[in-house]
A and B are shown apart, each in its own frame.
Chain A
Amino acid sequence: MKTRFGLGIILVMAFLISVPFFATDYWITLLTLILIFAVYASGWNLFSGLTGYTNFGLAWFIGVSGYVSSLLIADYKWLWLFAWPAGALFTGLVSIGVGYILLRIKGVYFAISMVALTEGTRELFGTEYLTPITHGGKGLPFVAGIRLPTLYWSILLVAFFSMMICYKIFSSKFGLRLIAIREDEQAAETLGIHTTKDKIIAFILSAFLVGLAGSIHFTYQNYIDPTFAFNIHLTLTPIVMTLFGGVGTVFGPVIGATLFTLIHEILWAELTLLYMAIFGGILMTLILFFPQGLLGWMKEKRILPRIRKI
């Protein structure tokens, strides 16, 4: 079972690595977007899926990291290879402070405060006070000098890396402690679990991974502005993808991101005028009948084993 699973991963990876050698730019672009959103969704799931703290500020991670890396590339002439991790590391660092302050509030209050943080930062980045640094609301077009296949391989590597991290964490004691926080935080604490520490570590990890994908996202777009970088869609889409694939499962977010993007793409191409309506219908059906997501449902029906490694 284990070797078959390993072999499967190797085959899928080998195929994905080889894609730029035979596919058209359309397919490479589509896969790039799928992978970017797969990392967003996995990163969201890593923190929110396990701890139950619904993070509605994913776009904040994306925007902050995107801005830092874009500015480093455009204004400081950094190479993308160094600008991306710099953006992600910066996001991880500021998340320590944000997590320390906001992770003591729960439920809807935490969700709202993350939305407020994102919206506030968006406003701030667009103001004239910060224009000398951020270029303000008019945005920043830039060229990173990276070819599409290289960009694709980079995000593929990042996606693989985040999958490995999720896989490790979900089946570790650290992961179990995060689930305990979701199930009953106070009980976890009276059983000797340092919940604040565990929450913040998971939050930083999530911020770093999502930030890394965010940096790549804006390099791919060759453009960044506050509305675009801190857009609520960048928060909502990965959440919906995760719900789609299975919250709290390792592979759910990736499967969700893939299916979601493909369905979206087909509907948009075939039924441009109606696609939002149909898409909404599909989503409502899924949430009504498969609230635990595709993988969650398959685990429940025992099509898949009920283990934390899936």
Chain B
Amino acid sequence: MEPILRIDDVVKKFGEVVALDHCSFAIESGSMTGLIGPNGAGKTTLFNLITGVLQPDSGHIYLKGEEITGKKPFEIARRGVGRTYQIIRIFPKMTLLENLIVVGKGKERKMVERAMDFLRFVKLEEKKDDYASDLSFGQQKLLSLAQVLMIDPQLILLDEPAAGINPTLQNELMASIHRLNEEGKTFIIVEHDMNVIMNHCQNAIALNYGQKIAEGSCSIIQKDERLLEHYFGR
């Protein structure tokens, strides 16, 4: 079967710094993959390339077999790629409901219903008329997930979804992500907390200095000598 996402020999440089160095991998549809690696390994750059925020210097990116390299971010989003940011980037001076409606498509009434469904999904329906800036950090992360769901993405990229929020909210968030995964959505998750990756993902890809240094199921990754050396400094 055609993988939902295929990264083929992608190179991205920032001046002299090689952020991604001939990186290649594929993501199977319906999977949940952890993307790990130390700071500056190229994880966020990879997300920026997949979503079209940055263009690769060379290499190709395919979504469901179609090349998306060089496409604009909004085109890639409309083809089914959703993404949340490490630093939350919701729209602060808009209400929660507006935050969702603004990215929705279709008839007004139906869309508002859908938006309310997603707000219920992340348990924020009671705050629908509050400004997003009034939410706590963790709640903003949940809102950002609900917002991404509005564009009905098949592939969702999460940049440190669990960082900086309390364990209860973290569990809720991860439970929501699992439910979505069971519904067939594919996830790639960047996370520094190895426990989150090991407990929640089937597969992991490890990056260092822009190179893929390991790939496989989480149980294998956990035992990879080279990775342990890079990641934990052993």
By a beta-carbon cutoff of 8 Å, the part of chain A in contact with chain B is 173, 176-177, 179-180, 183-184, 186-195
Contacts and interface: CB of A to CB of B under 8 A. Distances in A.
B4 interface: no
A173 B101 contact: yes
B94 A180 contact: yes
Contact of A186 (B53, B82, B151): B53
Contacts of A187: 85, 89-91
Nearest to A198: B74
Contacts of A184: 89-91
B74 A192 contact: yes
Contacts of B85: 187
A176 B102 CA distance: 6
Interface string B17-43: 000000000000000000000000000
Contacts of A179: 91, 93-94, 98, 102
A32 B83 CA distance: 50
B140 interface: no
Nearest to A193: B74
B102 A190 contact: no
B94 A191 contact: no
B147 interface: yes
27 contacts: A173-B108, A176-B101, A179-B91, A179-B93, A179-B98, A179-B102, A180-B94, A180-B102, A183-B91, A183-B92, A184-B90, A184-B91, A186-B53, A186-B73, A187-B89, A188-B91, A189-B53, A190-B53, A190-B76, A190-B83, A191-B82, A191-B103, A192-B74, A192-B78, A192-B105, A193-B74, A195-B74
Contact of B147 (A177, A191, A195): A191
Nearest to B79: A192
Interface of B: 51-53, 72-74, 76-78, 82-83, 85, 89-94, 98, 101-103, 105, 108, 147-148, 150-151
Contacts, number: 67
B91 A190 contact: no
A13 to B, nearest CB: 28
Given A173-B102, A191-B148, A193-B102, A183 B93 contact: yes
Nearest to B153: A192
Contacts of B89: 184, 186-187
Contacts of A176: 94, 98, 101-102
A184 B85 CA distance: 12
Contacts of B74: 189-195
A192 B77 contact: yes
Nearest to B104: A173
Most B CB atoms within 10 A — which of A177, A187, A189, A193?
Answer: A187
A191 B98 contact: no
Given A184-B89, A186-B53, A186-B73, A192 B103 contact: yes
A189 B93 contact: no
A190 B93 contact: no
Nearest to B81: A190
A188 B91 CA distance: 9
Contacts of B91: 179-180, 183-184, 187-188
Contacts of A183: 91-94
Nearest to B80: A192
A191 B83 CA distance: 8
A53 B71 CA distance: 25
Contacts of B92: 183
Given A179-B102, A180-B103, A192-B105, 14 more contacts: A173-B108, A176-B94, A176-B102, A187-B89, A189-B53, A190-B51, A190-B77, A191-B77, A191-B102, A191-B147, A191-B150, A192-B74, A192-B151, A193-B74
A190 B159 CA distance: 14
Contact of B77 (A173, A177, A180, A189): A189
Contacts of A192: 74, 77-78, 103, 105, 151
Contacts of A195: 74
A206 to B, nearest CB: 20
A217 to B, nearest CB: 33
A189 B151 CA distance: 12
B94 A189 contact: no
Nearest to A308: B98
B73 A189 contact: yes
Contacts of B51: 190
Contacts of A180: 91, 94, 102-103
A195 B73 CA distance: 10
A189 B82 CA distance: 11
A176 B103 CA distance: 9
Nearest to B108: A173
B143 to A, nearest CB: 12
Contacts of B83: 190
